[in-house]
């Protein structure tokens, strides 16, 4: 499918494009209902279609109702409503209309022939400026045109962003830019300047990647590229396959999540307000209705204070998962009065103190790795862990406790100590096991998922969405 | 019609000192043009409530506010019968049984007031996520059809479609049914460039160079993994603080001394001091 300029779009092609876009969003996992699609279509009739930013925001306002869907939406929007098309017929609708087109053509020709040092100078200038300037995107596009074409196979060429980035290597401009921004190095100003530079460089790489995707889409169809590039929203990303950048993003999800869980739990507690009749307050209330007790007042129910004991696998195989759950434990600590946390690899140690409220969570995690006595031979051994736990911390689990075990139940073919776990879980009010592995992989290899699952109910917990779902069932 | 185009939204909001970006102008315009409620979600202090106030101020409409909280119910959100008056009427007149459910005995609460208002009205439903789930059900009829059904009186249809803005801090997920009926606007922390302009608009008399430094510093703070990132409101407070202290330069010492204005947790302050290399606080 060839992208069509919106300005020359007929009504039919606009409707087709709209339907195709909505369909693509649904395929990417965005829940777009029929009513919302109609809203978006309605919005198209009142806005200026030639203004691409307005079009994008109009679609976003009507179809994207959750911030975690926005990156995927933006990516698809760029594919379905590209800002330019490659054969040079379309002018960039984002560009300043007042600017002389002749001048722009000159500059474009300039970019086609300029030497690499010259181009790097220009990139340095752009990185100093506001990245929202249309010239920034124009430059990225010209660079893809010039460097992005790579011979993929005999007789087939494709577009790649690494070729562009390698040719210009924007990262190596940092020192030069710092020199231009600051009179003296060091301290806070340098930190801030560095951050600004790396933000703009990331933005440049993003623009390049967007343009590369657009070109690929032009050559081999939108559907194909859309399927391979649109990543699942952050709350659906698998804990075990998370990248470093995504982990940082996940960390930001933790506090809202913990707060949400805490409010959820308190709301649950307050539901069913049918306590005993509060006679005094009922009579007092009846005075305003002339002694007729129109409304009855009930005593509030005595709140149940949940205690939480978390046993967390800290071995390397589940490190990203445990990293996340430790953060969650930490966040929960600030919401609940009594949370005790234990970490283990092949023996177990209490880490509650390291996660005291007010300490820095990142520090706490690195401290845990160094100080806590959780490793003997470095291979996960659930059996030994449960034995040691029962021996040393038997008092931690009582009739008011909810016990939460986090781990993949892979015990390296050691004895699982099921009886011990049964004893521990039996003393707790509730016990749950969260397993970050997909259910299909349970019981394969050294996994004892079903064995442990028969003692402690086991839940699949592969992403934030599943975790949130689980905690809503928590009592 | 509330606004003629997104550009007009930008101009008129700017006239009341609210600087909007493309996302805001487009959704504010669409909410008026399509007659749909606008749900704004985002962290605390990014100007969600302020947006509703700005829309009201820019259009000269009346602002009716419903503040949500846990335990909010029909009687405080929609309407209530004036029991005392009804009782008195019955005591005074034995035949009054039939006409104690009429206009005279109806107490208007914000939602009903907004629906029945003859003049242009902006209805702000603030912190929707704080209310119980049941309240959302209550809102559905109002938000989709702009009408309220009172069993004793019948259905009251809006005389004039109010401009509805809902805000939420996302402490809980709002129901799909509610979200489907609304246009959605996610307000996030602004880019340093926009934040600088906001600070300059809100704090007259502040030198532009300080505003620039402030915005960049706050952006640097937001990148750190803090418990509570500084909001726009706090940046503005910070700017006012510096103005009051008569500082013309924002260096490490000044930041160290006034960091409490933007970071309200001890661990956050310690972390910022460490990461940004600020002098330790005495």
pLDDT (tens place) for every residue of chain B, 282 residues total? 789 999 999 999 999 989 998 999 999 999 999 999 999 998 888 989 999 999 999 999 999 999 998 888 888 898 998 888 888 888 888 777 777 888 888 999 999 999 998 999 999 999 998 888 788 888 988 888 899 888 888 888 988 899 999 999 877 778 888 999 999 999 989 988 899 999 999 898 888 888 988 998 898 888 887 878 899 999 999 999 999 988 877 788 888 888 888 998 888 888 888 887 776 554
Q: Are both B203 and B173 inside the same structural domain?
A: no
Give the contacts of B215 (CB within 8 A, at least 6 positions apart).
B192, B193, B195, B196, B199, B235
Cβ distance of A35 and B170 shorter than 8 Å: no
Which residue in chain B is spatially nearest to A33 when comparing CA positions?
B180
Q: Are both B99 and B166 inside the same structural domain?
A: yes
What integer pLDDT is reported at residue A323 of this predicted model?
76
Cβ distance of A46 and B270 shorter than 8 Å: no
Cβ distance of B183 and A130 shorter than 8 Å: no
Q: For residue A192, which residues of chain B lie inside 8 Å, CB to CB?
A: 216-217, 219-220
Which of B163, B186, B209 delimits the end of a domain?
A: B186
Q: Are both B155 and B263 inside the same structural domain?
A: no
Q: For residue A61, which residues of chain B lie inside 8 Å, CB to CB?
A: 23, 26-27, 30, 183-185
Q: What is the pTM of this model?
A: 0.77
Q: For residue A70, which residues of chain B lie inside 8 Å, CB to CB?
A: 186
Q: Are both B97 and B156 inside the same structural domain?
A: yes
Expressed as residue numbers, the domain containing B250 is 192-272
Question: How does A30-63 read in b/e, with b if 16+ C-beta sit within 10 Å?
Answer: bebeeebbebbebbbeebebebbebbbbbbbbbb
The CA distance from A226 to A230, in Å, is 6
Cβ distance of A188 and B276 shorter than 8 Å: yes
Asked if the structure places residue B1 within a domain, the reply is no
Q: Are both B51 and B27 inside the same structural domain?
A: yes
What integer pLDDT is reported at residue A211 of this predicted model?
86
What separation, in Å, do the N-terminal and C-terminal C-alpha atoms of chain B show?
Answer: 57
* Residue in B29, B180, B217 nearest the CB of A192: B217
Which of B155, B186, B217 delimits the end of a domain?
A: B186
What integer pLDDT is reported at residue A95 of this predicted model?
47
Closest-CA distance of chain A to residue B83, Å? 7
Asked if the structure places residue B280 within a domain, the reply is no
Which residue in chain A is spatially nearest to B251 when comparing CA positions?
A188
Cβ distance of B193 and A132 shorter than 8 Å: yes
Asked if the structure places residue B282 within a domain, the reply is no
**For chain A, domain boundaries:** 6-81, 101-229, 246-271+305-473, 274-303
Q: Are both B238 and B182 inside the same structural domain?
A: no
Q: Taking the CA atoms of chain A, what radius of gyration do you get in angstroms?
A: 29
Q: Are both B216 and B165 inside the same structural domain?
A: no
Q: Are both B109 and B157 inside the same structural domain?
A: yes
What integer pLDDT is reported at residue A91 of this predicted model?
46
Asked if the structure places residue B216 within a domain, the reply is yes
Which of B154, B186, B218 delimits the end of a domain?
A: B186
Cβ distance of B87 and A360 shorter than 8 Å: no
Count of residues making up chain A: 475
CATH of the domain at B99: 3.40.50.300
Taking phi over 0 as left and psi of -120 to 50 as alpha, with beta for the rest, A150 belongs to beta
User: How many domains is chain B built from?
Assistant: 2
Q: Are both B174 and B201 inside the same structural domain?
A: no
Which portions of chain A are predicted below pLDDT 50? 1-8, 88-100
What are A72-100's pLDDT values in tens digits?
899 899 888 888 776 544 444 444 444 44
Number of CB atoms found within 10 A of residue B102's CB: 10
Q: Are both B79 and B200 inside the same structural domain?
A: no
Q: Are both B80 and B40 inside the same structural domain?
A: yes
Q: Are both B167 and B75 inside the same structural domain?
A: yes
Query: What is the fold, at CATH topology level, of the domain defined by A246-271+305-473?
Result: Rossmann fold (3.40.50)
Q: For residue B216, which residues of chain A lie inside 8 Å, CB to CB?
A: 192, 195-196
Instruction: Please state at what angle helix B232-245 crosses helix B192-202, rounded to 10 degrees.
Output: 50
Q: For residue B184, which residues of chain A lie inside 8 Å, CB to CB?
A: 60-62, 64-66
* Residue in B23, B84, B225 nearest the CB of A288: B84
Number of CB atoms found within 10 A of residue A200's CB: 20
């Amino acid at each position: 499918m060839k992208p069509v300029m919106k300005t020359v779009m007929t009504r039919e092609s606009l409707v087709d494009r709209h339907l195709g876009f909505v369909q693509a969003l649904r395929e990417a996992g965005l829940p777009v209902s029929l009513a919302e699609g109609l809203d978006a279509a309605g919005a198209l009739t009142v806005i200026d279609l030639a203004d691409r930013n307005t079009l994008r925001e109009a679609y976003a306002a009507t179809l994207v109702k959750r911030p975690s869907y926005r990156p995927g939406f933006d990516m698809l929007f760029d594919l379905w409503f590209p800002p330019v098309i490659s054969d040079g017929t379309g002018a960039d609708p984002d560009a300043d209309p007042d600017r002389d087109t002749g001048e722009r053509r000159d500059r474009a020709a300039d970019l086609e022939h300029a030497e690499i040092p010259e181009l790097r100078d220009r990139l340095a200038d752009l990185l100093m400026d506001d990245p929202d300037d249309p010239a920034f995107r124009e430059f990225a596009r010209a660079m893809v045109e010039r460097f992005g074409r790579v011979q993929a196979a005999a007789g087939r060429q494709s577009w790649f962003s690494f070729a562009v980035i390698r040719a210009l290597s924007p990262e190596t401009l940092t020192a030069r830019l710092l020199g231009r921004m600051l009179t003296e190095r060091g301290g806070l100003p340098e930190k801030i300047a560095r951050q600004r530079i790396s933000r703009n460089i990331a933005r440049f790489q993003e623009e390049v990647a967007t343009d590369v995707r657009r070109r690929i889409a032009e050559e081999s169809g939108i559907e194909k590229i859309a399927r391979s590039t649109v990543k699942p929203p952050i709350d659906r990303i698998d804990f075990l396959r998370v990248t470093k950048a995504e982990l940082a993003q996940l960390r930001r999800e933790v506090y809202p999540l913990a707060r949400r869980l805490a409010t959820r739990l308190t709301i649950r507690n307050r539901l069913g307000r049918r306590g005993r009749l509060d006679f005094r307050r009922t009579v007092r209330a009846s005075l305003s209705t002339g002694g007729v007790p129109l409304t009855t007042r009930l005593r509030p129910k005595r709140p149940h204070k949940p205690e939480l004991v978390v046993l967390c696998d800290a071995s390397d195989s589940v490190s990203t998962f445990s990293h996340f759950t430790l953060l969650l434990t930490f966040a929960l600590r600030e919401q609940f009065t009594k949370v005790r946390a234990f970490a283990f690899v092949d023996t177990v140690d209490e880490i509650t103190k390291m996660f005291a409220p007010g300490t820095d969570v990142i520090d706490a995690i690195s401290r845990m790795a160094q100080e806590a006595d959780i490793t003997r031979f470095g291979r996960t051994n659930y059996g030994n862990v449960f034995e040691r736990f029962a021996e040393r911390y038997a008092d931690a689990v009582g009739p008011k406790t909810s016990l939460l075990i986090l781990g993949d139940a892979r015990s390296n073919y050691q004895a699982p100590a099921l009886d011990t776990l049964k004893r521990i879980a039996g003393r707790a009010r509730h016990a749950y096991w969260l397993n970050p592995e997909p259910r299909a992989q349970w019981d394969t290899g050294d996994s004892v998922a079903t064995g442990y699952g028969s003692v402690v109910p086991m839940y699949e917990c592969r992403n934030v969405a599943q975790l949130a779902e689980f905690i809503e069932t928590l009592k | 019609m509330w606004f003629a185009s997104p550009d007009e939204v930008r101009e008129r909001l700017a006239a009341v000192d609210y600087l909007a970006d493309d996302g805001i102008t487009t959704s504010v315009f669409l909410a008026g043009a399509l007659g749909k409620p606008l749900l704004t979600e985002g962290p605390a202090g990014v100007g969600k409530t302020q947006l509703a106030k700005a829309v009201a101020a820019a259009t000269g409409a009346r602002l009716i506010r419903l503040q949500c909280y846990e335990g909010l119910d029909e009687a405080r959100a929609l309407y209530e019968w004036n029991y005392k008056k009804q009782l008195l009427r019955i005591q005074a007149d034995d035949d009054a049984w039939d006409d104690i459910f009429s206009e005279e005995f109806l107490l208007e609460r914000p939602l009903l007031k907004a629906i029945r208002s003859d003049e242009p009205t902006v209805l702000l439903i603030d912190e929707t996520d704080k209310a119980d789930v049941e309240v959302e059900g209550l809102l559905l009829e109002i938000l989709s059809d702009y009408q309220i059904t009172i069993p004793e009186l019948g259905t009251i249809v809006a005389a004039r479609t109010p401009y509805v803005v809902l805000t939420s801090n996302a402490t809980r997920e709002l129901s799909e049914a509610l979200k489907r009926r609304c246009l959605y606007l996610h307000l996030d922390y602004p880019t340093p460039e926009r934040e600088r302009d906001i600070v300059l608009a809100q704090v007259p008399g502040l030198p532009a160079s300080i505003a620039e430094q402030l915005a960049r510093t706050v952006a640097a703070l937001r990148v750190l993994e803090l418990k509570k990132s500084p909001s726009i409101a706090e940046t503005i407070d910070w700017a006012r603080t510096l103005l009051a202290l008569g500082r013309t330069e924002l260096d490490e010492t000044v930041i160290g001394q006034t960091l409490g204005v933007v970071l309200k947790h001890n661990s956050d302050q310690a972390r910022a001091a460490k990461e940004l290399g600020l002098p330790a606080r005495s």
